[in-house]
Amino acid sequence: MKVSSRLIRHLKLTKRSYGGVSTGVINGKRVGAMKLGVAYYPEHNKREHWGRDLEQMKGAGIERVRIAEFAWSRMEPDNGAFEWAWLDEFMALSMEYGMEVILCTPTACPPIWLVEQHPDVLPVNDEGRRNVFGARQHRCYNSPSYLKYSLRIVEEMAARYGKHPNAVAWQIDNEFGGEQKRCYCDHCRAAFQSAMEAKYESIGELNERWGNVFWSMEYQTFAQIKTPMKYTADLSLKNNPSLEMEYWRFCSDAIVSYCSEQARHIRKHNDGAKRPITTNRFSLIWGDNVRWPDLMRDMDVAGIDLYSEKLHEIAFYADSNYSLKPGASWFIEYGPGVNNLRDGMLQLQGRGCDWMTIFKFKPFPFGQEQGLQELVTLTGEPTDSYRVLEQWSAGPNMVEESRDAMFAPSGVGMYYHFESSWAYTISLWGAQIHHRLHYPNYVIDTVYKSLYRENKAHRIVFSPDNLEGLHTLVVPLQIVHEPALEDALLRFAEKGGRLVVTTDLFQKNAENVYLNDISRFYVEVFGLSSFIAKPLSEEPVQIRRSYGKGQVLLVKKDATLAEWESVVNELNL
């Protein structure tokens, strides 16, 4: 691991210098001190307070500020009229103070002139109402006007600051797809029809694979497909789960594609890897509508925002982030309660987080997020959180404190599958509406929680290609059948891996349709000829089988936390 020599060198340095150590892995253990940043809004604050604020940040050991993610109206107050003086000035001042800057593109907040000149920038909701101006994320990712003007401001910004000596990284947009997950406008409709035509080629093929014969939902042409607006009825009636599945995929893809476009525009003006690019995913509490592996593919760093006090949840996100980009994991917004801020930070650091950026330096006096307490109060007093950072930056942190309990990769993986989650959320009937099965909650608060150990880092697996080095893999609620995953699981067990799957495994296909034939896995591993329709026993583990050199456990799809813990005990994890 190339970082280790640097680490060893740093271990000989003074305590204070741990702030500069990157996270790395030595002899299979992750070590190193996480560095600190904070979100700041120069445009909210008087020019004469900037210096005082930067000074105060440094007092807590903060080395970076993240800025500008909502400042479009200050960068371009009117169409094509750019104003960079204020930002030039802040960049210069922050450099003076030795405070590095993460620059954010401001595209989550289209300004009033854009909305008024091109109302089709605004998304349309599932009842056909076009959104209004006046908060954030009021943009359709398929609107040509939005794409044109937002990429223009991105490129202007990149051209101006792409090589600025104090700009150390880029954040694209802010929490893509958070509050505005899916738009139902005519631009989206047309793009969706094209995407479906490209994928299915004939409308007959689409009808067949979506089961549109059901309720006579068959289309004659691709042009008849609409965005899945809310079906009006006196009792609940939903759209075809296959249509929804494809639309969710389409909306995730639109976000990913737009994010990549921003990255491409920034890279034109960015001198290589020196200034890594990322975007800040929101945590799954707010939905898992954007597929992380896709979104992170073109990013240099895995970025995520997290607001949680629960240690197992913090661990899950830290492990996820590290799994997506080992050695480049950033928590871009982190805002835990003050009571366990230090505990959370130790979890992040131990699980490979390089940078943690606190959200935020100071409360907003105005606007929709006004009034919360942060590092300092509105009148400038340091809060308890400030003291925690101060202490953190002054000490050796985990490296020294936790020498004997250093975090180690556990060799255990847990699979997370966005489309299995969607299949559960979209579908209406039977066990699928059981609250406990809402995929992300269940996977994090039940399955991962049973695996959680304070000082062991698991791998969160998002792809069949990432099983190398694991001795155990847990695959919960993997209802969607993917042939490549099926192959990989069989190979994993064959070679000696221990595999834990649940009774809903591989029952649906990628179109959110149940399989009519049992999948190969069941036949080869369990010798079954049909899916398991009802519990075989009351035990959490329904079947235990050897397979090749390995072992496969089939667990009830609705096992409780206690039941999962018994499975984990049985496996000595």
Of the candidates 155, 175, 244, 246, the residue annotated as catalytic is 175
Closest CA to 114 of 144, 155, 156, 83: 144
Beta strands in 33-99 (DSSP E): 35-39, 64-67
Query: Residue 537, interface with its own copies (CB under 8 A)?
Result: no
- Within positions 260 to 319, which residues make up the interface with its own copies, using CB under 8 A? 286-287
- Is 390 an active-site residue? no
Query: Residue 70, interface with its own copies (CB under 8 A)?
Result: yes
Query: Residue 202, interface with its own copies (CB under 8 A)?
Result: no
Choices 4-12, 54-62, 374-382, 406-414 (CB under 8 A): range interacting with its own copies: 374-382
- Interface residue with its own copies among 378, 405, 484, 562 (CB under 8 A) is 378
> Which H helix or E strand runs over 501?
strand 498-502
Closest CA to 295 of 246, 241, 326, 251: 251
What is the C-alpha separation between 305 and 327, in angstroms, rounded? 17
- Within positions 170 to 199, which residues make up the interface with its own copies, using CB under 8 A? 178-182
Choices 5-13, 144-152, 265-273, 426-434 (CB under 8 A): range interacting with its own copies: 426-434
Query: Residue 82, interface with its own copies (CB under 8 A)?
Result: no
Residue placing its CB nearer to its own copies in the complex, 31 or 375: 375
Determine the angle formed by the axes of helices 203-210 and 186-200, rounding to 10 degrees: 90
Choices 221-229, 311-319, 390-398, 410-418 (CB under 8 A): range interacting with its own copies: 221-229
Residue placing its CB nearer to its own copies in the complex, 290 or 301: 290
Query: Residue 381, interface with its own copies (CB under 8 A)?
Result: yes
Query: Residue 242, interface with its own copies (CB under 8 A)?
Result: yes
Residue placing its CB nearer to its own copies in the complex, 224 or 569: 224
Give the CA distances from residue 327 to residues 34, 88, 279, 319, in Å, rounded to whole numbers and listed in that order. 12, 31, 16, 12
Query: Residue 535, interface with its own copies (CB under 8 A)?
Result: no
Choices 112-120, 310-318, 440-448, 461-469 (CB under 8 A): range interacting with its own copies: 112-120
Of the candidates 63, 333, 482, 563, the residue annotated as catalytic is 333
Residue placing its CB nearer to its own copies in the complex, 74 or 438: 74
Q: Which residues pair with 500 in a beta bridge?
A: 474, 553
DSSP annotation of 487 reads H
- Interface residue with its own copies among 11, 93, 95, 217 (CB under 8 A) is 217
- Interface residue with its own copies among 15, 226, 269, 310 (CB under 8 A) is 226
Residue 177's SS3 state is coil
What is the C-alpha separation between 316 and 323, in angstroms, rounded? 10
Transcribe 418-475 into DSSP letters: HHHHHHHHH--SGGGG-GGG-HHHHIIIIIIHHH-BTTEEEEEE-STT--TT-SEEEE
Judged by CB under 8 A, the number of residues near its own copies is: 99
- Is 333 an active-site residue? yes
Closest CA to 142 of 5, 11, 261, 278: 261
Query: Residue 215, interface with its own copies (CB under 8 A)?
Result: yes
- Interface residue with its own copies among 7, 36, 40, 72 (CB under 8 A) is 72
Query: Contact, 477 vs 424, CB < 8 A?
Result: yes
Which positions ≥6 away from 54 have C-beta within 8 Å?
65, 93, 94, 97, 99
Query: Residue 527, interface with its own copies (CB under 8 A)?
Result: no
Query: Residue 136, interface with its own copies (CB under 8 A)?
Result: yes
Which residues belong to the active site?
175, 333
